Amino acid sequence: MFVEGENMKILVTGAHGLVGSALIPFLTTEGYQVRRLVRTNTHEESGDILWSPELKQVDPSKLEGFDAVINLAGENIAAGRWTEDQKRKIRDSRVIGTRFLSETLARLKLPPKVFISASATGYYGARDDIIVTEESAPGDGFLADVCREWEAATEFAVKNNIRVVNARFGIILSAAGGALKKMLPPFRLGVGGKLGNGRQIMSWIALDDVVAGLYHLLNTPHLRGPVNFVSPQSLTNWDFTKALGSVLKRPTIFPVPAFVIKILFGEMGEALLLKGANVEPKKLLESGYTFHFPELKEALHHLLGK
């Protein structure tokens, strides 16, 4: 258990992504010693540890003695159309890297007490009609398949008595990146609107609660396995659209038809924009976590400074 940050050592992959960029300053402020595990094709910064998951290259001695490892690495799933090559990059960046890291950590003389590895609510597939929890079965489709493999890639660490947590992230809201940043320009211009029929469920979470939730995982020893990172208030795309327009004081009368999304973005647009899942953060709530921003309007006011 990490009740005090002093002298606690944390290793983070995906350190320059949306979550990592917010998490590392928070942990540092709390007194943790944080090191970044970065790929060999990036510029080496002081204190960073280099690895190449594709080539299975890392110096194991540099990974000894960390109290926790937080694995956030993965290709951006919304970077472009899902060609076969892009699908391979999305899968491999998650599965190959996580498996290699899991195997490496399990073989250490001084392995970490906890290995927190990112996953996603895409695990559940399209589930607008029912509420799903961590106990629910996986869904169908490309994202569900990737998430199953992604989580299975931590198995070696699980079998070697490392506490493994699979953080299933929903739609992470931040003005600095991700879905919300992409929504802001059209909404600020007054040309935002619902996507498709607007009935698809959006299970979202404010970036502040992602960071605080990960800190909660570090300090809650009984939490292991999948943990849903979503707010308690899932809502439809249409309700999300109205809330964002209200906070920005802009109209939301320009819907984007489903066929336009399919033409522009193909399978990626259909999976990410036209389908959703009604996900409940059961484990976080039952473990005593209190959300900073459980309701959307409150979160948007905070994130957008409105």
Q: Does 7 have pLDDT greater than 80? A: no
Number of residues that make up the chain: 306
At 213, give phi and psi (nearest 5°). Answer: -65, -40
User: pLDDT tens digits for 8-60?
Assistant: 899 999 999 999 999 999 999 999 999 999 986 555 556 899 999 999 999 99
Q: Does 106 have pLDDT greater than 70? A: yes
CATH of domain 9-304: 3.40.50.720
Token pair in block for residue 53: 């998951």
Higher per-residue confidence, 46 vs 235: 235
pLDDT of residue 42: 57
Nearest to 237 by CA among 183, 194, 192: 194
pLDDT of residue 46: 65
pLDDT band at residue 125 under the 50/70/90 scheme? very high
Q: Does 210 have pLDDT greater than 60? A: yes
pLDDT of residue 119: 98
C-beta neighbour count of 168 within 10 angstroms = 25
How many Å apart are CA 147 and CA 67, to the nearest integer?
Answer: 25
User: pLDDT tens digits for 157-207?
Assistant: 999 999 999 999 999 999 999 999 999 999 999 999 999 999 999 999 999
User: pLDDT tens digits for 245-303?
Assistant: 999 999 999 999 999 999 988 999 999 999 999 999 999 999 999 999 999 999 999 99
pLDDT of residue 24: 97
Domain ranges of the chain: 9-304
